[in-house]
Structure 1
Amino acid sequence: MAALTPNHQELAKQLAAQAAVKLVKHNDIVGLGTGSTASFALSALSDRLKDGLQVKGVPSSLQTEEQAKALGIPLLPLGEVGEIDISIDGADEFTEELQLLKGGGGALFREKIVASLSKNRIVVVDSSKKVSQLGAFKVPVELAPVACRYVLDQLATLGGKTQLRHKNDTLFVTDNQNYIADVDFGLIADPQALAIQLNQIEGVLAHGLFIGLATKVIMATGEELVVFEQDQKGS
């Protein structure tokens, strides 16, 4: 498959996001993802609200919260929501088996909570995000600052080459006031096993391996949509 140009990539993201927003129903509680593709979904959802749709959104980051408020989307705080009808978010990588690698935008903890609360988990991507095996993109790991040295040492024992994320020459700090380590494990033979190992490290709040947290992936390839769903390879 030919690589998309930047312009075509943005158009593909927009197309996938619009398709996902069509799945939102009246009075749904909607999980709002973070990142460039999720931003297109917010705009599309705002357009549907203008046409009379009534929903309440649950933002996965402060950035998303600000954009949703600016677009007039009514919001509920994540910490007070017990169930979400449908969530729409992007991914940095995905496989046909619906294994995801996320967290490039730094919102992985709240994104994972939103996905875990959701009955219908929709992931929207352009075709550049599809891989046969996760791991070309580094695995983000959100960690408590007080456990920084310990967590980095533990990640090294798992074979990861680790670098703390920086932004503008300073340590990147998440919405939860934590650090992110970007860990290069190479191509990951068993993402589920690695996810379990990462979960067992004290001081790790979340990691970017999203296993069993997608119902459907909507991928745009130019002007065409390809849908991958649970228990099937693709359609």
Structure 2
Amino acid sequence: MSDPVVEAKRDAGIRAADMVKDGMVVGLGTGSTVFFAMERLGERIRSENLHIFGVPTSNQTAMRAEEYGIPLTTLTLHPKLDLAIDGADQVDPKKRMIKGRGAAHLREKVVADAANQFVVVIDAGKEVAGLDAAVPIEVLPFAYGSVVRRLQELGGEPVMRNGVKKDGPVISDNGNYVIDCAFGAVADPAGLETAINAIPGVLGNGIFARMTEKTVVIVGGRK
């Protein structure tokens, strides 16, 4: 019996991939739903002779793109993208979101900012009335202690993200620490996003609240 969540993710990924047109440069997010989109893009490259370039947001995504036969490029060569496809951990009715369970949120935000259109693929379980998940924050290792103090002053409960199959902290693809900081219900996502980013030593956080106008949310299994 098929898993309905997996099928919803596959549906969302395929629908996003079918938005890509010949000649586009596409940001490729990180995570299982995006990988379904990448699988579909690989199929279209082979069957339709689709010509595209992808900009990966993580080493994992780059490896998967190579597996699917998606040619890769960089933001240096293509600083403006046609669209970016990515997932999310929570999305509210105003299309504000929390991302970063895969610790790629800093590169994902850079790529989303560079794109004309930000296509977010989720299953229905990621829809929420209000954002309340812990916020992933990428931190310069040198500044870890002072960042933790400042996050506590903001009312957060910061916790270092530790590895599952290795001892010690998770290290991002950029060589930094990742802190997961719980704030409870986030009444002002844009304000909190700005406040966290203003802390010296913070390189980026997983609240995406300032690109809603160009965001399209595709919920798998729902037309």
TM-score (norm 2): 0.95
Aligned mates of 1:64, 1:213 — CA distance in 2: 22
SS of the residue corresponding to residue 199 of structure 2 reads coil
CA contact (8 A) 2:25 2:78 kept: no
Aligned ranges 1:134-145 → 2 under 5 Å: 134-135=131-132, 137-145=133-141
Amino acid at match of 2:66: K
| Counterpart position of 2:188 | 190
Deviation at 1:170?
A: 1.7
Structure 1 CA distance for aligned equivalents of residues 134 and 201 of structure 2 = 19
Residues 110-189 of structure 1: matches in 2 within 5 Å? Answer: 110-135=107-132, 137-168=133-164, 169-189=167-187
- Deviation string for 1:152-187 (max 9, x for gaps)? 000000010110000133210000000000000001
Instruction: Describe how 1:100-115 pairs up with structure 2 within 5 A.
Output: 100-115=97-112
Pairwise mapping of residues 1-235 of structure 1 onto structure 2 (< 5 A)?
A: 7-51=3-47, 52-135=49-132, 137-168=133-164, 169-214=167-212, 215-220=215-220, 223-225=221-223
Question: Which blocks of at least 5 consecutive residues in structure 2 are unaligned?
Answer: none
How many aligned residue pairs are there?
218
In the TM superposition, residue 200 of structure 1 has moved relative to its aligned partner by 0.6
Q: CA deviation digits over 1:63-106, x for unaligned, max 9?
A: 00011011111000234431000110000000120101000000
Compared with structure 1, are the counterparts of its residues 49 and 141 closer, same or farther at alpha carbon in structure 2 (3 Å cutoff)?
Answer: same
Q: 2:18 and 2:58 mapped to 1: Cα distance? A: 23
Give identity over the alignment, percent. Answer: 39
**Deviations for 1:117-140, whole angstroms, at most 9, x for unmatched residues?**
0001100000000001001x2100
**AA partner of residue 152 (structure 2):** A
| SS of aligned partner of 1:18 | helix
User: Distance between the aligned counterparts of 2:72 and 2:61, measured in 1?
Assistant: 11
CA shift digits 1:182-222 (9 cap, x unpaired): 000001011111011011101000000001334200012xx
* Amino acid in the other structure paired with 1:194: L
What is the aligned-residue RMSD (CA, Å)? 1.3
3-state DSSP of counterpart to 2:196: helix
CA distance in 2, matches of 1:54, 1:79: 19
Which residue identity lines up with residue 186 of structure 2 in the other structure? I
Look up the SS of the partner of 1:212 in the other structure.
coil
After superposing on structure 2, the runs of 4+ consecutive aligned residues of structure 1 that deviate more than 4 Å are none
